[in-house]
A = this chain, B = another copy of it.
Amino acid sequence: MIRTAIIGYGNLGRSVEKVIADQPDMELVGVFSRRDSLDTQVRVLPAADVEKHKDEVDVLFVCLGSATDVPAQAPELAKHFTTVDTYDNHGEIPNYRTVMDKSAQEGENIAMISTGWDPGIFSLNRVLGGAVLPGADQMTFWGPGLSQGHSDAVRRVTGVAKGVQYTKPNPEAIEAVKRGEGADLKANECHLRHCFVVAEETGDAAADEKLKEQIREAIVTMPDYFAPYETIVEFISEADFERDHQGMPHGGQVITRGQAGTSGHVIEFGLKLERNPDFTAAVQVAYGRAAWRMRQAGETGARTVFEVAPYLLSAEPLDDLVAKKL
């Protein structure tokens, strides 16, 4: 059995707990949290004590917020644990990888970074499509759906009580790609970002309005996450938020159109997810299995989904996969 633990118990951490329960080869040692009590039957331990438990844990699932907590805390964790995260700030991933590689090598661990579906298995399909059809046009569409990473970023803005962000594909861009005319479209031309925010209330109407303007400005100018996109920030009441924004559907597709030999081909990879954090957790847990196997094989350092042989993700033996799935 692979002995696992979770640090961070938001949506992702709770989903990882459920996913681990369905694995034949994993047990959950405990959840590390800054909070004293959590709504779980699993052992809850103080996040501040995480290092003390390093000898009890084979793989630590890092389920902290991607916007600030993961880059701040994961490099230290990787010195003591084989870690798996879902760090999703695409523009910062190369730097993050360098930092995590140093930590993981120092600790003789594997740091499996930026798993999930995007980054994650969407990235894998971008590399696969581009390798098979070099020079192909490639486009990723997200949504319609709620983005965990971007919602997390919204919620960290000062004055935001509650917030979600929905990514929506631009229908005109999808049609252009299907016609083979989408090669030059940028991600920010293919999507818009729609935020629903419950602002904190000061009791003073003029101050409330000023706070909302500050929140809007902080969101739409946030580098990488929102600045390059058309971003709508809509303020709603807490009651409306609770009624309309509790689901977490998501999905999307990676489309690769290219030539091989003298003919044209289309590769499509699509996801329809009922609950985004559940699926992100499912991918993260599978890569946790791979991380532990790679560590057991003597590897150390940061690894991405590009470096993982697919059979390492599966609980089934390679011989069975060859017999049943090849």
Contact = CB atoms under 8 A, between A and B. Distances in A.
Contacts of A130: 314, 316, 325
Given A124-B310, A130-B316, A265 B273 contact: yes
Interface string A98-117: 00000000000000001000
- Copies of this protein in the assembly total 2
A263 to B, nearest CB: 4
Nearest to A114: B326
Interface residues of A, number: 69
Contacts of A18: 260-262
B274 A264 contact: yes
Contacts of A321: 127, 306
Given A265-B273, A266-B271, A278 B260 contact: yes
Given A271-B266, A282-B261, A313-B131, A93 B307 contact: no
B281 A272 contact: no
Contact of A326 (B119, B131, B271, B281): B119
B323 A94 contact: yes
A303 B265 CA distance: 26
Interface in A226-279: 259-275, 277-279
Given A18-B261, A273-B265, A309 B311 contact: no
A269 B253 CA distance: 10
A82 interface: no
A5 interface: no
Interface of A: 15, 18-19, 22-24, 90, 93-94, 97, 114, 119, 121, 123-128, 130-135, 259-275, 277-279, 281-283, 286, 289, 304-311, 313-316, 318-319, 321-323, 325-326
